[in-house]
Amino acid sequence: MTTRVLATILFLSTVPCSLVAQEAKPTTPPAPSQTAATSQIYRVRVELVNVLMTVTDKKNRTVIDMTKDDFHVTEDGKLQTITYFSRESDLPLRIAILIDTSNSVRDRLRFEQEAAIDFLTTTIRKGKDLALVVGFDVEPQLVQDYTDDTEKLAKAIRSLQAGGVTSLYDAMFFTSKDKLYYFPPPEPYLRRVMVVISDGQDNQSERTREEALAMAQRAEVTIFTISTNRTGAEARGDKVLRYLAQQTGGRAFFPFEAGELAEDFQQIGRELRSQYSLAYVSTNAAHDGTFRNIMIQPLDKNVHVRAKAGYFAPSQ
């Protein structure tokens, strides 16, 4: 009796649905005899690590003509084989806007609100993308849950008022855990983005910086940060914002003039549509829940890669 073998791929971090469809489609239809009720089914577990990345040249312009042969990927120092590679310009977006409403940003809050509104208006595609708004001072407050209605998002952002201290890490932890973490991973793959507008000087959170970052990494979130520091000198909070962005494959912006803030938001929007996705099967098959460091090195030394610093392995 003929035995049919069915291979089922289970993702650690999901890959775009087009890739799944490509692998799942049989090359030839099974013969009638293969559909017998007594056929045995074997399942093979293959875990993929998925990485979204941005590639730029020396002038910080996006590079869009790369192939998988242009990169070396290592995990904890060990070379990995790239299984999938594609350019991603149309992934569904899940965007969380986190706005610092503490007293330290009172003078700049109104302009930051309008810049955030313009960003969402030009970025959100109705029926495909969703965004939410969180304000934070003493504690994080969800002022608008997921919606593709930019008028609702604008109303929520304009309702924010300055006052109190700063609980940045609590806001990040809450948003990542309750709003951006999906398990099992979603299909099709969702681009999960957190845009933080703050001076980065947390003085209230119960969660630590590392706890907030770890939760964002578990949720596969890319963090973009926009500093509200206008002194012209890098402050301690600016270093925090830069670190959070670097560890998740995002980017930190430090606008000095008000007009630069709008351009920074536009740059984030462009970057979200000009990325690459690669995936590999890790050579480390242990389910130990540890953090694995990823390094993506371009063969062309004239280009630069921004991607997440690593991921947490499954624990079971």
3-state secondary structure the chain: CCCCCCCCCCCCCCCCHHHHHHHHCCCCCCCHHHHCCCCCCCCCCCCEEEEEEEEEECCCCECCCCCHHHEEEEECCEEECEEEEEEECCCCEEEEEEEECCHHHHHHHHHHHHHHHHHHHHHCCCCCCEEEEEEECCCEEEEEEEECCHHHHHHHHHCCCCCCCCCHHHHHHHHHHHHHCCCCCCCCCCEEEEEEEECCCCCCCCCCHHHHHHHHHHCCEEEEEEECCCCCCCCHHHHHHHHHHHHECCCEECCCCHHHHHHHHHHHHHHHCCEEEEEEECCCCCCCCCEEEEEEEECCCCEEEEEECEEECCCC
pLDDT of residue 42: 47
Instruction: Give me the tens of pLDDT residue by residue for the chain, a chain 316 residues long.
Output: 433 333 333 333 434 433 333 333 344 444 444 444 445 554 445 588 999 999 999 998 999 899 999 999 999 999 999 999 999 888 899 999 999 998 878 888 988 999 999 999 999 999 999 999 999 999 999 999 999 999 999 999 999 999 888 999 999 999 999 999 987 777 667 899 999 999 999 988 999 999 999 999 999 999 999 998 887 788 899 999 999 999 999 999 999 887 788 899 999 999 998 899 999 999 999 999 999 999 999 999 999 999 999 999 988 7
What pLDDT does residue 161 have?
A: 92
At 104 the pLDDT is 79
CATH class of 93-272: alpha beta
pLDDT at position 34, please? 46
pLDDT of residue 234: 84
pTM exceeds 0.85? no
The per-residue pLDDT for 233 is 80
Question: Residue 123 has what pLDDT?
Answer: 95
State residue 46's pLDDT score.
56
pLDDT at 90: 85
252 half-sphere exposure, CB direction, 13 A CA radius: 20
pLDDT of amino acid 259: 79
Query: In the chain, which segments carry CATH 3.40.50.410?
Result: 93-272
